[in-house]
Amino acid sequence: MSPLSIPADELPDPAGAQARRGDAVIEGLVCASVFAIGWAALSHQALMTRLAILFFGNGIAVFPVVLAAFLLGTGAGAWLGCRRTLLPKERLAGFFCALLAAGGLSLALSPLILGGYAAADLGWMGKTQDLILLAAVFPPICLIGALLPVAMRVLSARTEGFRAAGRIYALDSLGGLLGAATANTLFVPRLGVQGTLSSQAGVLLALSLGLYWRMEKSGARRALALAGAAACWAALALLPARLERLYLSEISNGVPVRLLLHQEARAASITVVDFPTHREMFLDGIEEASTRPHHVRLFMLLGILPALLSEDGAPAEGFMIAFGAGMSAGAVLQSGAVSSLDVADVNGDVRAIAELFREHNADSLDDARLRFFAEDGRDFLSRSRKRYGVILADSTHPLAYDSWLLYTREFYELVRARLAPEGVFALWVPLSQLPEDSFRVLVKTFLESFPDATFWNVPGSEQSLLLATPRPLSIDLGRFQDRLDRIPKTLRLKEYQMDDAFRLAGFFNMGPRALRAFVGGETRLNTDDLPYGQRAIFRKSDGPMIRIDAEPKGLLSVVKGVPEERRAELDRRMSLAA
């Protein structure tokens, strides 16, 4: 057959082949964009939850608010995107490019919106955290949500509709899975929260530019798009420093501070700053430790009480939940109460913190007797088969999302099962922002498991602890003082007026009888499935905050061997308490 006799439909069509290759490239870029959308969206939800905790506190209420804003934005965006799918084919892809770029940029800007609202004085709106979170989370997710139906329309013009829909859902789900799994564990430790979101915005911007470049034939317009994208990438690179300044302004409250450490780790954001008079350590925006006298006294008290109250004084194996700045760990190790100390903390990045508090933690992290485990303390204790002579819980706050499980009946029963017969358990109870009836339930729950419990308070502060002993407490001041004298001077007890047994016994605030009188007719208990304190957060108001009487109740019944020259002082304190 001669070439002239070849049918027209079998002749080579270079223009058609090139068009098909162009369509394949566009289709590939759209699919890559859908995957990136899922990756960025689920990362954004996880990271905005983290930032909400950083700026507004670590109550569990932030989780449903961020989730609600995310779902609302996704639904509203999908509805708006469906309305735009009626655009002509040639305009639809351009709209997808613009929406992709806008969504990416808004993702990167949302942390600054959140931080700016948190740091600014906005009257009634500044006090409404839910609206602030909605304003920060909703717009970028709405823009991203609108992309999916548009992408489905773009792909369905090139392939069967059901296949396009299946591919869209699969790619978006896989991207979301990657984003949720890697945002906090892989990207944040290397790039930070803002750096992660800025990088994701840069990827979405690059995909948008690639699509526009493929569709646009005008060289001038291509150059303009490239210049605009370069300017946006440069601006994205500057955003992390801006967010850090906003956060530093939030925690300093206008006081001049010197930043010593800001590390966005897998489990928490760690910040250590020097104020004019002291040093403070923040985890997720919450003050966890400082070198202020009342904080140091509390952490020392938490660590040395087991040694002072032990019946035989022999070192035992110890366990501690939460390392913090290492002050309590240093105190218990220096006290001689433990032969070894297992410490479990979900935040494994404690080395830098320990170095900055070396003067107050006695180099506890480098003590050969300390074994550190980067995992959840309650989980560790539930899997352990050891019986510990000393258990310390140096947690954050009873209302915090990461600590409330250390204030429930189930946890106390677990502690009882892991305590040696003569073991002692001490639990930090910070009273700031704790409603009185929440504290009443907390004490009631503790007494259910430890009927001989006592309550200790650093005078003039909200720093307190509950102490569980195997039998009713009895303090022999002579033995108390003898054991205090054996503690190395490196612990600096004298500097903090904790080297005197009589003065230290004054930290005692309530015995079992006084605690039961305080609880009164309260019958509620904090349990894993019904934590009363968490329900109090959602009610926003829960009556008056707890206030501790400075004078001890029941001290006479537990203190023995009071020197005659100090009897009058003790009698005076008891008369004031009455």
Amino acid at 346: V
Encoded tokens for 100: 């992709």
Question: Residue 346 — φ and ψ, nearest 5°?
Answer: -65, -25
Give which of 141, 104, 144, 142 is closest to 228, Cα–Cα. 104
Cα angle for residues 158, 163, 168 (degrees, 5° grid) = 90
> What's the pLDDT score for residue 150?
85
Length of the chain: 578
Strand blocks (E) in 275-315: 279-283, 286-290
Residue type, 86: L
Instruction: Report pLDDT digits (tens) over 455-494.
Output: 999 988 888 999 999 999 888 888 888 889 999 988 999 9
What lies within 8 Å, CB to CB, of 186 at 6+ separation is none
For the chain, helix, strand, coil in percent to 5 are: 60, 15, 25
Structure tokens at 134: 């909605």
Q: According to the model, what pLDDT value does residue 219 have?
A: 87
DSSP string of 107-139, one letter each residue = HHHHHHHHHHHHHS--TTGGG-HHHHHHHHHHH
Tell me what pLDDT residue 113 has.
81
346, 316 in Cβ contact below 8 A?
A: no
Taking only the tens of pLDDT, the chain with its 578 residues reads 444 454 545 545 454 444 455 568 888 888 999 999 999 999 999 999 888 888 877 777 788 889 999 999 999 998 988 876 666 666 777 788 888 888 888 889 888 887 777 666 554 444 567 788 888 899 999 998 888 888 888 777 655 667 778 888 999 999 999 999 999 999 999 999 999 999 999 999 999 999 888 888 888 988 999 999 999 999 999 888 888 888 888 888 888 999 999 999 888 899 999 999 999 999 888 888 999 999 999 999 999 998 788 776 678 999 999 999 999 999 999 998 899 999 999 988 899 999 999 999 999 999 999 999 999 999 999 999 999 999 999 877 787 777 888 999 999 999 999 999 999 999 999 888 788 888 999 999 999 999 999 999 998 888 899 999 999 988 888 888 888 999 998 899 999 989 988 888 889 989 999 999 999 999 999 999 888 766 665 554 445 556 666 566 667 677 776 666 666 666 555 444 44
Non-local (6+) Cβ contacts of 192 within 8 A are 240, 264
CA–CA distances in Å: residue 186 to residues 124, 179, 189, 192, 251: 38, 10, 6, 10, 26
Question: Which has the closest alpha carbon to 511: 472, 549, 481?
Answer: 472
User: Which pLDDT score, from 0 to 100, does residue 567 have?
Assistant: 64
Token pair belonging to 398:
């009873």
Contact 337, 316 (CB under 8 A): yes
Query: Would you say 236 and 108 are in contact if contact means Cβ atoms under 8 Å apart?
Result: yes
Distances (CA, A) of 304 to 17, 37, 232, 337, 532: 81, 53, 56, 8, 31
* Strand bridging mode 508-510 / 454-457: antiparallel
Which of 34, 317, 58 has the alpha carbon at shortest distance from 151? 34
Q: Exposed, middle or buried: residue 246 (CB in 10 Å: 0-12, 13-18, 19+)?
A: buried
The confidence score (pLDDT) of residue 333 equals 94
The closest alpha carbon to 102, from 151, 154, 140, belongs to: 140
Which residues, 6 or more positions from 134, have their beta carbon under 8 angstroms from its beta carbon? Answer: 65, 69, 72
Q: What integer pLDDT is reported at residue 190 of this predicted model?
A: 92
- Which residue is listed with tokens 């839910």? 130
- C-beta separation of 417 from 381 below 8 A: no
The closest of 178, 38, 175, 183 to 111, measured between CA atoms, is 183
Query: What are phi and psi for residue 559, nearest 5 degrees?
Result: -90, 130
**Angle between helices 532-539 and 436-449 in degrees, nearest 10:** 170
d(CA 568, CA 444): 34
Strand spans (E) along 2-98: none
> Residue for token digits 């005078």?
459
Q: Which amino acid, residue 549?
A: D
Between the CA of residue 339 and those of 105, 332, 418, 441, what are the distances in Å? 55, 10, 17, 35
Q: At what angle do helices 89-119 and 14-56 cross, to 10 degrees?
A: 10
Coil, helix or strand for 307? helix
Residue 4 pLDDT: 45
Residue 85, pLDDT score: 61
As given in the structure block, the two tokens for residue 256 are 């001049």
The pLDDT assigned to 5 comes to: 52
Give the closest residue to 424 by CA, choosing from 394, 469, 483: 469
Structure tokens, 536:
């109090």
Lateral strand order in the sheet of 286-290: 258-264, 269-274, 279-283, 286-290
All residues at 6 or more sequence positions from 14 whose CB lies less than 8 Å from its CB, including other chains: none
As given in the structure block, the two tokens for residue 109 are 């800007």
d(CA 521, CA 518): 9
Q: Which residue has the tokens 């039961």?
A: 516
* 195 close to 186: Cβ distance less than 8 angstroms: no
